[in-house]
Amino acid sequence: MLKNLLFIALGGGIGSVLRYLCNLFINKSYPNKTYIATLFVNIIGCLVIGLLVGYFQKNQTENEAFKLLLITGFCGGFTTFSTFGLENFNLLQSQNYLLTLLYIMLSVVIGIAFVGIGIYLTK
């Protein structure tokens, strides 16, 4: 268990640092438009998690430590949106269309609402 946590922490640390560097780089080109950096990171994160999951499936890789390092750790540190994208893709693959739509709507609407509630509660 501790070994798995270390793999996740290492991958998460690398992903977080890379996200920060992407934000710095993109914000130099587009100052005061942080959403562009977030959009970029989210899209790239979705591509990376798709490539990793596809690779592991194609090669039938059962190396749990490597999956924890790259998917849970790196992708999770880089952007949790990649996990959100993968979960929705899996729901669509299982033809769970209503649940997919509900999950997307609830995540986005409640997520934004809770940001507002959190800000309100600190005032």
Q: Are 71 and 44 in contact (CB under 8 A)?
A: no
pLDDT score of 34: 83
The Cα–Cα gap between 19 and 66 comes to 20
Q: Are 45 and 79 in contact (CB under 8 A)?
A: yes
Consult the annotation and say whether 73 binds a ligand: no
Q: Are 76 and 14 in contact (CB under 8 A)?
A: no
pTM, to two decimals: 0.82
Helix (H, G, I), strand (E, B) or coil at 59: coil
Q: With bands split at pLDDT 50, 70 and 90, how would you rate the model's confidence at 32?
A: confident
The Cα–Cα gap between 16 and 45 comes to 12
How do residues 104-113 score in pLDDT, each as one tens digit?
999 999 999 9
Angle, helices 34-58 vs 81-93, to 10°: value is: 50
Consult the annotation and say whether 76 binds a ligand: yes
Q: What letter does residue 61 receive in the DSSP assignment?
A: -
Half-sphere exposure of 60 (CA within 13 A, CB side): 0
Q: With bands split at pLDDT 50, 70 and 90, how would you rate the model's confidence at 103?
A: very high
- Residue ranges of domains in the chain: 2-121
